[in-house]
Amino acid sequence: MGKVKDLGYDPEGRIVIIYDNVQGVEEAVPSNQILAIGDVILVKTREQADVEAKAPHKTEKTCPKCGKANAPDVRFCTACGSRLE
């Protein structure tokens, strides 16, 4: 796909990997698309992502301290850092 340039965050506070694609255009891969990280980063195929997008979504976790809705797979609130159950 390209060479990794940096890590960043999307508007929901999830990590994204920023890279230049083969045409030299900057793109980002969201953390939920990453299968494994090492010298090479494995990302899900478009088909895998499409299947997951059609699957029922897990319930969001609401922070007991600040009330922010967080993704179901996070342990700490992306707004205030409080531990989520």
Q: What is the pLDDT of residues 38-56, one digit of tens each?
A: 767 667 676 766 666 666 6
Let me know the angle formed at the C-alpha of 55 by 53 and 60, rounded to the nearest 5 degrees: 85
User: Residue 63 burial by CB count (10 A; 0-12/13-18/19+): exposed, middle or buried?
Assistant: buried
Report whether 60 contacts 72 (CB < 8 A). yes
pTM for this entry = 0.45
Q: What is the pLDDT of residue 64?
A: 92
Please name the residue ranges forming H helices in the chain: 46-54
